[in-house]
Structure 1
Amino acid sequence: MPLKQKIKKFALTYLTDWGIVLIVGLILYGLMIGSVLPKNTNVKLHEIATVDLQSPIDTVDTEATSAKKQEAIGSTPSAYAYNKNLGMIQVEKVGDLFDTISAVKKENKISSDSAQQDIDAAIASVKSRLADSSDAHLSNTTLISLITASGNDLQIAEDIASTSIYEAMNDKVGWNDLERVQNKAAASLPSSVLNDETRRALNEILDAYITANYSFDANATKQNKQEAARNVDNVVIHQGEVLVKKGELVTNDMIRQLKLVGLIDDHFNIIPFVGLLLFTGFITFAFWFEYKRFKEKHPTYSIKFIYIYAIIFAGAAAILKLCSYLRLTELSGIGFLIPLAMASLIIRILLSERIAIVSGILLAIVGSVIFGISTKAAIFDAPMGIYLFFSSLTGALVLKKRQARPKMIRNGGLIALVNVLVVLALLMFQNTPFTPVGTGLSLGFAALSGFLSVILTNGLMPLFETGFAILSPIRLIELSNPNHPLLRKILIEAPGTYHHSVMVANLAERACEVIGANGLLARVAAYYHDVGKTKRPKFFVENQLNGVNPHDKISPQLSRTIIVSHPYDGADILRHYRMPKEIIDIAEQHHGTTLLKYFYVKAQELSETPIDESEFRYPGPKVQTKEAAVVELADSIEAAVRAMKKPNPVKVNNLVKSIFNARLSDGQFDECSITLKELKSVEKSIDETLRGVYHSRIEYPKDLKMKKVNPK
């Protein structure tokens, strides 16, 4: 077995849809894995940096943030509280002191002449009563001076002490100012009304009872510092931020930041690889979903189309990877040269517009990752992703509905125009300075990409068509050329069949377009469906120009053999000319298992015994596709209408209905996916088309007599 056939057998036998999708996913993962591989920074501490190093991610610099918070805490001043009522409280305490001394003095009848023993007992009593007071720390000398003073002197001392304390604490008194305020209050004591002992006692009282009323507030200070720390914003290293500039001396802080963003990492981290796996899984699932949707809408398409789709998709991703290295040339705008629209154009021609649009979006995402790797600044290159998105989207939408091959000027020019406008918009968004050389190169490469996409599409299409035997619109249009050898063969050897085939093609194409089938395929297949008649053209009524019918001289059984063989003779001829399988199938199936009613009835009349109907039926197979079903109906209806004498719209409509009902009741569409609703639409379409062909005409008289006009 040849190697080519072995490879084909292996692919069709062992590689399922899921296997191909898995291979595509692995290819995409391999192309994008550079986005999670550690970047080679090639920098060392205390050496001069040779390149600019940019952060590939957004991240919070926790160490710098913590230092900034500590700085904010340190710069926040302490909080102090002013107790304006504390002066009155201290005055009341002094009053309690003098009241206690007066009470003990009165109870013990103490005077300056009292015995020392009584004075000591009185002092003990005063201390006992003042034990709960926080200010009960006056010396015995002071207490003796006060307890032995006269009542008048004691009252004067109380008034002076109260006034001095109140005046001293009427303003804010901090701990740093306390000694100064106490000394000032002591210096202001009047010496004229106080003896030396009482003055010394008042000095001690003022020192004990004048205290700070403006003091440190620990709770408020703590809250203020916490609030200051909370108000500090995180220090963020932004994606694309230059951490090390070329020519700078690499410091410890720079090394720390490079490690933080992952540009220097001595430890293997599996998380980015898992993230890329999930991302690739999403892309691959979308790829599979779109193909599955396409396959459901086109059940007759073979497995080879998943190979085609996979090759185009993975190949386009590989081209993206190769083009990303163009940036190493440092030529301005060279990355815009990538011809991604080519993939959309080919997918649009071979598969569908929807799958081309979705594939363009997916490839733009893949491209943004791949080009992000080449910049070493980010995982995604957003501007390039936007450019690729619009370029591929234009490639998917630029072709007209029936256009089979992109045109250089029209389609290439449209893609180039969109590319140029997108690049211009991106340059404006990024506020890039416009320079004649740089801007001109960027716009020039973008324009060249559009024309390059069309050139590559036209160059690669024949490879796909030949390698996978694809019946593309381009191939169908080529086969519809009247100069094709087979069509010329039909025209020369069976001119009636040729005219009949052209009429069937017109009917079938319009009917297929009504139900959403491939109208171009139906038209081209109709051109070739009766090519088998060229083997014995005179045995078919449309080619009997002289009125001689060879069937009149042979048996019905022989006529049956000749007529029944033409679909299979045609299939053999088409295979000999290496025609697409879809056209061969339609030629072979266009009569299904229908009955040759004319020759069957004739054989019954000539035979004395009943003849089995199956002997005069086509052996089949029945039609398998919608296009084959439409061609079968159009073929039988056109032949019947052609044989009709003086056709008119009513007769044609009745004939169309009868043939439809006959084919339906005969089960000719049982193996085809066409629905009854679609059959009704086909019936209506063929009827309307035939009405246009066989419309009523004015019958002109044979002899036209013109009145003679006598000249004056």
Structure 2
Amino acid sequence: MTPSFLIKGQLKKFFARYVANWGIYAIVGIVLYVLMIGSVMPKNPNVRLHEIAPSDIQSPIDAVDTQATEAKKQEVMGATPSAYVYNSNLALIQVEKAGDLFDTVSSIRKENNITAQSTPAELNAAIQKVSNRLSPSPDFKISDTTLKTLMTASDHNLQIAQDITSTSIYEAMSGKVGWNDLESVQTKASASLPSSVLDDSMRSALNEVLRAYITANYTFDPTATKRNKQEAANNVSNIVIHQGEVIVRKGELVTSDMIRQLNLVGLMDEHFNIIPFIGLLLLTSFITAVIWFEFHRFKTTSEKTPLKYLGVYVLIFLGMAAIIKICSYLRLANVAGLADVIPIALGPLLIRMLLNERMAIVSSMLLSLVGSVIFGISVKASLFDAPMGIYLLFSSLAGAMVLRRKQTRPKIFLTGGMIAFVNVLAVLSLMMFQNAPFSLSGTGMTLGFAFLSGFLSVILANGVMPLFEAGFDILSPMRLIELSNPGQPLLRKILLEAPGTYHHSVMVANLAERACEAIGANGLLARVAAYYHDIGKTKRPRFFVENQLDGVNPHEKISPQLSRTIIFSHPYDGADILRKHHMPKEIIDVAEQHHGTTLLRYFYAKAQEQSDQPIPESEFRYPGPKVQTREAAVVELADSIEAAVRSMKKPTPVKVENLVKSIFNDRLSDGQFDECDITLSDLKKVEKSIDETLRGVYHSRIEYPKELKMKKVDEK
């Protein structure tokens, strides 16, 4: 093998494994991004200040209106009443202050011998001393006239005046006196002065004293007031413009406040905002990563992640995304529920039939997410259309899960009816959940389109399925089930032309399917491949012992070399027959590989006996190739074991177990599994499974006597 050939092979392998593989995922991301980009494009409304709005304008996001919130806080603070404090001890304090006034006047009068006959100069000097002594007190607001009256009064009258003043102050301030009530309280106290014991000058003087010392005891508390107003402001919740909230209604005059709110939610922003586009990129990357992760787990009959199956999956997924995009424009027709006719279940149906159920379920979730974003372009208030996304999810999940395991093709009326039923239930539940108005025409059309979607999906799936199977040469579970039908022409050919081979193949199929399921391989493929693996024997059926029903063996009349040639040809004859009938490559490979390069021991030994010269063992080995897959390896083991057990005389469980172990060890030591990915652990499980199945077939039975001796009972 030349170096250039090796380099070309490595480059081809590198391209298939990395460039093409990752290129497909890149295409998925790019296409999805392009299909969904319309939902993040700016949706600037066509409105102007002081003009009539042509349509409703809704907020696309949740946004806090800070200006309205601040105005609301100021309003609440203004409405919060001021806090006041009541000083119940202030009455006694003011009585004491008034007492200080009278005590000071009395004391200075005695010190200066002031009487009614004192000169004005002496009175003025005494009055000045009183003022000097009491002026530090903030409550001292007594005029010189009042002080002169008190200074010239007799001791008896001065004492009466002091008692009346103290009583009046205490009574006036015994309750809550606010600043608003102070004037009326003072007036009331002055009016209550007794005229019988006081002359006019003394009444006038005491009136001034009462007004000076009766003050408010229920006063404003600035600290508490500030605290209360702040607490009230803090309790004001942010005013939020909610997503979907109508900012401008159709027919309304657009005000400056409306324009401010539109700017706040970004609808009037003419500057390019890259954030939504980055968000869409992250969402697209997430969807692509989920596809990669799920497909990486997917195991097929030949490779873990074949490029062919990846291409099929991507074609279906992107095709469904494109259908969603096209159907999103149906809303422009303004026909009730027309968009619900979208055949979203088509994609999961195809993926379920071509790949497996898990991939179909995951794809349903991803397609519903993509659909909610794509349909979001018609929803002014959101980037997502949640109701449509939920409808797509239920419909697509129905398509992914409605098929039975052994169902060959989705039946139009049964499968379509089940999907349609799910669609109708989903639409009804969403309408009720949203409290949407029901009308005979609108609701009826919506349910009708949803019902039609189910049948449309099944019809399209049945029509498109053969194109995928033929175009990509895919062996789907549905195709395998169809090929296992006994009515298939090739199976009838085996049954009619080589009945022994047919029954042998059925036994091999039973052994192989159970063994493959034990190791996690494709049991259905192994079963179907086992049905066809010996079809090459139909070319010369009489040369194979299971078809020699009359006991005549043609090999007894020919040489071992000719027998070898006839026996060797049946895998390749079978592969040719299968190719002519356009059978799947996986089944052709099993037919061609099921003997690998094993030795034809019987005819090799016979040739050695008849020859004088040693014969190379290679002349009696099958040309190969060796088995390439786990399913082919299991079929090879099941084929050789079933044939060997069938030829045993009076097989017992112990004999069968020893024979199974012998054949397993022989194939393993002969290197027949060197080119496939089956492990020793898998081989142990296969050995155990085949042994258990054969034990069930060749279990010990009760030996019945040839004749049952019956005692005759005399009839009376």
**What's the TM-score once normalised by structure 2's chain length?**
0.88
Separation of aligned partners in 2, 1:460 and 1:291: 22
Alpha-carbon distance change, 176 to 611 in structure 1, aligned in 2, over 3 angstroms: same
Picking from 326, 348, 353, the partner of 2:352 is 348
Mapped pair 1:326 → 2:326:
no
Equivalent position SS for 2:586: helix
Mapped pair 1:87 → 2:124:
no
Separation of aligned partners in 1, 2:269 and 2:555: 91
Which position in structure 1 is the counterpart of 2:80?
A: 76
Picking from 264, 272, 275, the partner of 2:276 is 272
Cα drift, residue 454 of structure 1: 0.9
Mapped pair 1:667 → 2:666:
no
Alpha-carbon distance change, 468 to 10 in structure 1, aligned in 2, over 3 angstroms: farther
Counterparts of 1:312-711 in structure 2, within 5 Å, are: 312-480=316-484, 486-487=490-491, 496-533=500-537, 539-543=543-547, 549=553, 551-552=555-556, 555-645=559-649, 651-676=655-680, 678-687=682-691, 689-690=693-694
Which position in structure 1 is the counterpart of 2:4?
A: none
Deviations 1:552-610 (A, max 9, x none): 45554454444334434443444454432212221222112222112222333344454
Identity %: 73
Amino acid at match of 1:664: L
Separation of aligned partners in 2, 1:706 and 1:120: 162
Separation of aligned partners in 2, 1:390 and 1:362: 12
Amino acid at match of 1:277: L
Separation of aligned partners in 2, 1:670 and 1:440: 64
Q: Is the 8 A contact 1:590 1:629 kept in 2?
A: yes
Alpha-carbon distance change, 259 to 297 in structure 1, aligned in 2, over 3 angstroms: farther
Separation of aligned partners in 1, 2:300 and 2:493: 38
Equivalent position SS for 1:243: strand
Which position in structure 2 is the counterpart of 1:4?
A: none
Alpha-carbon distance change, 563 to 298 in structure 1, aligned in 2, over 3 angstroms: closer
Out of 28-37 and 388-397, give the one that drifted further. 28-37
Separation of aligned partners in 1, 2:540 and 2:658: 32
Deviations 1:430-476 (A, max 9, x none): 23333222222222222211111111111111121122110112333
Amino acid at match of 1:426: L
Which position in structure 2 is the counterpart of 1:113?
A: 117
Q: Is the 8 A contact 1:172 1:214 kept in 2?
A: yes
Which position in structure 2 is the counterpart of 1:291?
A: 295
Q: Is the 8 A contact 2:49 2:255 kept in 1?
A: yes
Out of 401-410 and 212-221, give the one that drifted further. 212-221
Q: Is the 8 A contact 1:38 1:264 kept in 2?
A: no
Out of 656-665 and 588-597, give the one that drifted further. 656-665
Out of 668-677 and 202-211, give the one that drifted further. 668-677
Cα drift, residue 389 of structure 1: 1.7
Which position in structure 1 is the counterpart of 2:210?
A: 206
Which position in structure 2 is the counterpart of 1:97?
A: 101
Mapped pair 1:141 → 2:183:
no
Separation of aligned partners in 1, 2:51 and 2:120: 89
Separation of aligned partners in 2, 1:133 and 1:695: 123
Cα drift, residue 106 of structure 1: 2.0
Which position in structure 1 is the counterpart of 2:163?
A: 159
Separation of aligned partners in 1, 2:206 and 2:380: 82
Q: Is the 8 A contact 1:515 1:682 kept in 2?
A: yes
Q: Is the 8 A contact 2:296 2:304 kept in 1?
A: no
Cα drift, residue 307 of structure 1: 1.4
Deviations 1:209-251 (A, max 9, x none): 2222233332233233223323333333333333322222222
Mapped pair 1:306 → 2:310:
yes
Root mean square deviation, CA, Å: 3.5
Q: Is the 8 A contact 1:300 1:625 kept in 2?
A: no
Q: Is the 8 A contact 2:76 2:233 kept in 1?
A: yes
Equivalent position SS for 1:72: helix
Which position in structure 2 is the counterpart of 1:228?
A: 232
What is the number of residues matched between the two proteins? 705
Q: Is the 8 A contact 1:501 1:530 kept in 2?
A: yes
Which position in structure 2 is the counterpart of 1:20?
A: 24
Which position in structure 2 is the counterpart of 1:58?
A: 62
Alpha-carbon distance change, 655 to 208 in structure 1, aligned in 2, over 3 angstroms: same
Alpha-carbon distance change, 167 to 509 in structure 1, aligned in 2, over 3 angstroms: closer
Mapped pair 1:47 → 2:77:
no
Separation of aligned partners in 2, 1:697 and 1:95: 131
Separation of aligned partners in 1, 2:704 and 2:200: 158
Separation of aligned partners in 1, 2:651 and 2:317: 54
Alpha-carbon distance change, 706 to 110 in structure 1, aligned in 2, over 3 angstroms: closer
Amino acid at match of 1:156: I
Alpha-carbon distance change, 674 to 360 in structure 1, aligned in 2, over 3 angstroms: same
Separation of aligned partners in 2, 1:477 and 1:163: 114
Which position in structure 1 is the counterpart of 2:6?
A: none
Amino acid at match of 2:673: F
Deviations 1:638-658 (A, max 9, x none): 322343445566654543343
Cα drift, residue 95 of structure 1: 0.3
Alpha-carbon distance change, 386 to 298 in structure 1, aligned in 2, over 3 angstroms: farther
Cα drift, residue 546 of structure 1: 6.6
Q: Is the 8 A contact 1:476 1:521 kept in 2?
A: yes
Alpha-carbon distance change, 198 to 650 in structure 1, aligned in 2, over 3 angstroms: closer
Separation of aligned partners in 1, 2:568 and 2:620: 8
Cα drift, residue 79 of structure 1: 3.0
Alpha-carbon distance change, 288 to 193 in structure 1, aligned in 2, over 3 angstroms: same
Which position in structure 1 is the counterpart of 2:222?
A: 218
Out of 474-483 and 459-468, give the one that drifted further. 474-483
Equivalent position SS for 1:81: strand
Which position in structure 2 is the counterpart of 1:248?
A: 252
Cα drift, residue 37 of structure 1: 1.8
Separation of aligned partners in 2, 1:670 and 1:512: 18
Cα drift, residue 292 of structure 1: 1.3
Unaligned regions of 5+ residues in structure 1, if any? Answer: 1-7
Deviations 1:76-110 (A, max 9, x none): 33333333332221111010111122222222333
Amino acid at match of 1:358: V
Amino acid at match of 1:328: L
Q: Is the 8 A contact 2:597 2:672 kept in 1?
A: yes
Separation of aligned partners in 2, 1:9 and 1:239: 52
Out of 398-407 and 660-669, give the one that drifted further. 660-669
Cα drift, residue 187 of structure 1: 4.1
Separation of aligned partners in 1, 2:622 and 2:450: 59
Cα drift, residue 129 of structure 1: 2.4
Alpha-carbon distance change, 451 to 123 in structure 1, aligned in 2, over 3 angstroms: same
Which position in structure 1 is the counterpart of 2:7?
A: none
Separation of aligned partners in 1, 2:330 and 2:147: 100
Amino acid at match of 2:441: V
Q: Is the 8 A contact 2:297 2:304 kept in 1?
A: no
Alpha-carbon distance change, 353 to 200 in structure 1, aligned in 2, over 3 angstroms: same
Out of 71-80 and 497-506, give the one that drifted further. 497-506
**What's the TM-score once normalised by structure 1's chain length?**
0.88
Counterparts of 1:119-198 in structure 2, within 5 Å, are: 119-198=123-202
